[in-house]
Structure 1
Amino acid sequence: MGLASAIFMASAASSSRFLLRPPFTTFSPNLQLSVNLNFNGKPSVTVQKIGNLSVNRRRRSSIRRDKCRRLCCSQVRIEYGTDEEACELVNGIEVSIGEGSETVAAYLLTAVKNNNGIGILLLSDIFGFEDSSTRDFAYRIACNGYNVLLPDLFNGDPWQKERPMALFEPWLATHTQTAGTNIAASIKWMVDEFVAAEIVNKLGIIGFCFGGGKVIDVLSEDSDHHFGIGVSFYGTRIQPSVAGKVKVPVLYITGDDDPLCPVKLMEDIERDNVGGSKVVVFKGRGHGFVHRPASNEEDKDAEEAFMILRNWLQNGLVAEGK
């Protein structure tokens, strides 16, 4: 049974249980449903259906949706024998992980038709999990058959562009520990709901900027080997000594004009890391060009980077799991 359809629904017999339905079971696009979900008998997760993403989320432009079709579905059709309809069958659900005041808000996107049963934890940059660019990217990953969990790392207080930069370091110091706690809770949720349900043996983790740095922290401490692969897009504040502890393949993508993710650092990590890591450097590109392209030239490189990401996930998670 794949999570492809593993849209989470309450049964008539037990409205508080968290159940995985057979493939292709989905909510109707306009249905809103809240259910309490139990782990070992304790209610801990609340889910609300917010509509099929093909109907278009308020923040999603038709241009970005068309790009998803062009980039994702055409590729999936060629390699997996599915069709363009797959992009129209991505479902988005609001998820609240944990209990009481320590709950973590998150967004779960699941591919329905072409789902491969693999979970991806996506860590945002400092602008948070509700940022439209990050959610667009999560949607595009789900278009390719993955189940993407996008958690709130900052408890509803992401960095705002209008804030004075003098406040950034204090804000970051306050929220770094919060992010770590929320990531740990998200990993536990994914392990409970994906691995324990025998849907997938390995998970993937992807991050941008701040989240890209956290990818390395998470993998360096993954003693239970939950993650089989990682992707760090221009990760910030990466420590080579920490990266050296990672034992799984990591794809590093950055630009050669990005002072926040120096190419020299990436090259050193690629040379020393025993996990089979790969570094891809885009010439003339600065910070954030993959999920926030600012020109036609950057958009072309962003599309190429997405292709590299897709192949990395396919070879490292989908092919390995067969």
Structure 2
Amino acid sequence: MSAAFSAAVAFSPPLPRPLLSCRSTVLLHHRRRVVLARRLNRLSSFRKCHLCRCRCPGLNLYAAGTITCNQVKMGDNVDDETCELVSGIDLTIGDEQDSIRAYLLKAVKNNNGTGVLLLSDIFGFEDSSTRDFAYRVACNGYNVLVPDLFRGNPWKKGQPFTEFEQWLTRHPPSMVAKDIDASTKWLIDEFAAAGISKKLGIIGFCYGGGKLVETLARDRQAHFGTGVCFYASGVDTSLAKDLRVPILFISGDKEDDVCPVNRLREMEKCIDGSRVVVYYGRGNGFVHRPDSQEEDGDAEDAFAITRSWLHDILIASKNLVL
């Protein structure tokens, strides 16, 4: 791991007064109070968490955030999900001539050493729902990198859909693939090449789910150990023959035109160890952007499956003595 990165993580200034208090392992970031209340009510295990902002040197960063979580007493019948200290750092990947922004969320306490690349949906890496999910993954011990796949020009909520095709042409697949590969290389240099992480994980939502499949198909060096693909759009089933690691596909069936379940089933049959989990009556985005209490319950279940999947493949298998 680079000296600059180690220095940034080791830096621990006095914590300012907490800006936000919550009672869960979902580490919330810039959310409206009414949304906070709805999402907090759905969690099965509770924590007292404080979100603070601080400054860290190095890494071309724009800002850094630190989240401290203090466990509160719970009954014996409650699943005690580990609560971590997580640092958040804005950084740039690439050189001065060609670079992209990204956001790294790193578990500081009990870090399992594993890097995870998270590919956003069309709303981009700064979308609060995407960052909430990334925080939660990091809170389970991971180092989560969320790159800006759209170079500062994500699809804006409320934008007329008639403009979508024109917007999409501004993000050619070759450019997006290049940025994903640069982000992968960054994770490799920081974690895998240093011997800290044996394999990387990758997560993708919708647009990012389709890019996840493409990324794993061109992963000739087998840097990734698995992927978790949420309601992927634009999945190319012909790439199944090039996929060498198991993928967990999670989707609803409500918007079958966006993410056809039968297409996911085809992928499942072709990729050893893969699994498809379908939540009937659910649409696109229900896991990281639930709109009702019913969706909240399925979102919690999907996250639990995701957590176990990543642990079993990336962590438990890494610790096996052959």
TM-score range, shorter chain: 0.7 to 0.9
Aligned to 1:227: 224
User: Cα offset for 1:282?
Assistant: 0.5
Cα deviations by residue, 1:224-281 (Å, 9 ceiling, x for unpaired): 11000101000100011013321101000001112211111111111122x3110000
Query: Normalized against structure 1, the TM-score is what?
Result: 0.80
Aligned to 2:169, which of 165, 173, 176? 173
- The verdict on how the C-alpha distance between 1:54 and 1:179 changes in structure 2, with shifts beyond 3 A counting, is farther
**Residue matched to 1:52:** 66
- Mapping for residues 78-89 of structure 1, pairs under 5 Å: 86-87=83-84, 89=85
Which amino acid is the alignment partner of residue 180 of structure 2? I
Hey, what's the Cα distance between the residues in 2 that align with 1:31 and 1:268?
47
Residue 266 of structure 2 is matched in structure 1 by 268
2:260 partner amino acid: P
Q: Is the 8 A contact 1:290 1:301 kept in 2?
A: yes
Report how many aligned residue pairs link the two structures: 275
- Whether the aligned pair in 1 keeps the contact of 2:118 and 2:134 (CA below 8 Å) is yes
DSSP 3-state at the match of 1:222: coil
Task: Say if 1:286 and 1:110 are closer, same or farther in 2 by CA, change over 3 A.
Answer: same
Paired residue type of 1:27: S
The CA distance in 1 between the partners of 2:269 and 2:214, in whole Å, is: 18
8 Å contact kept, 1:123–1:150:
yes
Pairwise CA distance, 1:53? 2.8
**Equivalent position to 1:279, from 268, 276, 281:** 276
The question of whether the paired residues in 2 share the 8 Å contact of 1:47 and 1:95 is answered with yes
* Unmatched runs of 5 consecutive residues or more in structure 1: 1-5, 9-16, 36-44, 56-64
Secondary structure at the counterpart of residue 108 of structure 1? strand
1:212 corresponds to which residue? 209
Letter in 2 for 1:217: E
Q: Is the 8 A contact 2:118 2:146 kept in 1?
A: yes
* Separation (CA, whole Å) in 1 of partners of 2:63 and 2:283: 37
Does 2:316 align with 1:302?
A: no
Question: Of the candidates 239, 243, 247, which is equivalent to residue 242 of structure 1?
Answer: 239
Which residue pairs with 2:195 in the alignment?
198
Q: Aligned equivalents of 2:270 and 2:54: distance in 1?
A: 51
Distance 1:176 1:31 in 2: 36
Residues 34, 48 of structure 1: 8 Å contact kept? no
Compute the displacement of 1:51 (Å). 2.5
Tell me the residue number matched to 1:14.
Answer: none
- Choose from 133, 136, 157 the match for 1:137: 133
Give the TM-score normalised by structure 2: 0.80
Give distance in 2, aligned partners of 1:191 and 1:289. Answer: 31
Deviations 1:281-319 (A, max 9, x none): 001111110001000000000000000000000101000
**Helix, strand or coil: the match of 2:210?**
helix
Distance 2:184 2:140 in 1: 22
Greater CA drift, 155-164 or 228-237: 155-164
- Bigger drift between 97-106 and 225-234 goes to 97-106
Q: Distance in 2 between matches of 1:161 and 1:222?
A: 33
Bigger helix share: 1
Alpha-carbon separation, structure 2, partners of 1:119 and 1:110: 9
| Matched-pair contact (CA < 8 Å) for 1:96–1:105 | yes
Residue 222 of structure 1, CA deviation: 0.3
The corresponding residue for 2:23 is: none
Measure, in 2, the Cα distance between the counterparts of 1:155 and 1:48: 16
Displacement, 1:19?
4.8
SS in 1 for 2:310: helix
Secondary structure, counterpart of 1:214 in structure 2: helix
Structure 2: stretches of 5+ with no match in the other structure: 16-52
How many Å apart are 1:110 and its aligned residue?
0.7
Q: CA RMSD, aligned part only?
A: 2.4
Quick check: 2:11–2:56 contact (8 Å CA) kept in 1? no
Letter in 2 for 1:200: S
The answer as to 2:172 corresponding to 1:149 is: no
Q: C-alpha deviations, 1:102-139, integer Å up to 9, x for none?
A: 11100000111121000000000000000000000000
CA distance in 1, matches of 2:63, 2:165: 36
Distance 1:309 1:137 in 2: 11
TM-aligned CA deviation for residue 49 of structure 1 = 4.6
